[in-house]
């Protein structure tokens, strides 16, 4: 089990990006959260198997059709196991 912490930048707020991330994470069986940040980015913290997290990272870079993702910064850490499910926060 691993933890992915990511920040997506570009045109990612107000275009359904958080809902897209939540659907993808839930489909992949991941736990964690997604939220909008004051700087216009979207932050994601997800935990689960490495293959599922890599699939989520690919989805973060693509985004929904309305979004324009310019970059995704990511950091890998050991899983903590603190999330019961994946949800949109904030």
Task: Give me the active site residues, please.
Answer: 18, 36
The beta-strand segments (E) located in 21-85 are 31-36, 42-48, 68-78
CA dihedral 85, 47, 4, 80 (to 10 degrees): 110
Q: Which residue has the tokens 């904030």?
A: 90
């Amino acid at each position: 089990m691993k933890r992915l912490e990511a920040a997506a930048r570009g045109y990612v707020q107000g275009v359904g990006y958080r809902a897209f991330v939540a659907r993808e994470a839930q489909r992949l069986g991941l736990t964690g959260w997604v939220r909008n940040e004051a700087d216009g980015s979207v932050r994601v913290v997800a935990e689960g198997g490495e293959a599922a997290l890599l699939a989520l990272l690919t989805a973060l870079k693509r985004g929904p059709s309305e979004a324009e993702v310019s970059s995704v910064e990511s950091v890998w850490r050991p899983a903590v196991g603190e999330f019961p499910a994946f949800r949109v926060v904030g």
